[in-house]
Amino acid sequence: MDKVASANINTFGPSPKADVPPEEESVFVLTSSQLQELISRAIQPLQEEMAALHSRLAELESLQESEISRVCCDIAYDRQRLARLENPIKRPGKTETARAEKIEKYLASRPDHRATFETLKGHLGIDNVLLNQAIKTLMDCSSGQYGITRTPGDKRKRTLFMLPK
């Protein structure tokens, strides 16, 4: 039975052998300094490229900061311009200034340096709104020199007076 078992196993016959030459293994022997030099030569171009990339990155970051700064300044200027457009500073015109000077001369010529608003309206030939603008201009230009009080006898009427210097 042993012969049958071995015969069954060997029925395939002997395994064909390939005509492949045996592989030769190359062996390199390097000292540690030689290995370090070999690695440094291989890494040097990568290090130079990394240095160049770091330099370029620094340039781009600087450029980005300057652009951000410029945009921030532009936004600040735009906000200032918008604020001036939304809330314009109203300066008195030539007509208002001329009316204020007439009121000043009129009060200076009066002995009591007083005049009711009604008198001033008649003197200048203007309405309440224009008179109030002229008086505001006068008081803004010469602050502390003029005052407004109620007329004695009629609390509804107002009087403009010049304060003594």
| Low-confidence spans in the chain with pLDDT less than 50 | none
The string of pLDDT tens digits covering residues 123-158 is 999 999 999 999 999 998 887 899 999 988 888 889
Which pLDDT does position 16 carry in this prediction? Answer: 56
Residues 82 and 106 in one domain: no
Which pLDDT does position 120 carry in this prediction? Answer: 94
In a domain, 146, yes or no: yes
- CA angle at 133 for the pair 131 and 139, rounded to the nearest 5°: 100
Which pLDDT does position 122 carry in this prediction? Answer: 93
In a domain, 2, yes or no: no
- Mean pLDDT of all residues belonging to the chain: 86
Residues 109 and 157 in one domain: yes
Residues 105 and 136 in one domain: yes
Phi-psi region of 153 (alpha: psi -120 to 50; beta: other; left: phi over 0): left
Residues 153 and 98 in one domain: yes
Which pLDDT does position 46 carry in this prediction? Answer: 92
pTM of the model: 0.48
Residues 67 and 115 in one domain: no
In a domain, 137, yes or no: yes
Residues spanned by the domain of 75:
31-89
In a domain, 65, yes or no: yes
- CA angle at 159 for the pair 155 and 162, rounded to the nearest 5°: 145
In a domain, 43, yes or no: yes
Gap between the Cα atoms of 50 and 60, Å rounded: 15
Residues 80 and 98 in one domain: no
Residues 77 and 101 in one domain: no
**Dihedral over alpha carbons 68, 74, 78, 81 (to 10 degrees):** 150
Residues 103 and 155 in one domain: yes
Which pLDDT does position 1 carry in this prediction? Answer: 52
In a domain, 76, yes or no: yes
Strands 154-162 and 114-116: antiparallel
Which pLDDT does position 127 carry in this prediction? Answer: 93
Residues 46 and 103 in one domain: no
CA atoms within 13 A on the CB side of 135: 22
Gap between the Cα atoms of 131 and 100, Å rounded: 9
Which pLDDT does position 43 carry in this prediction? Answer: 93
Gap between the Cα atoms of 10 and 52, Å rounded: 69
Residues 106 and 82 in one domain: no
The last residue of one of the domains, among 39, 71, 89, is 89
Count of domains in the chain? 2
Which pLDDT does position 95 carry in this prediction? Answer: 92
In a domain, 7, yes or no: no
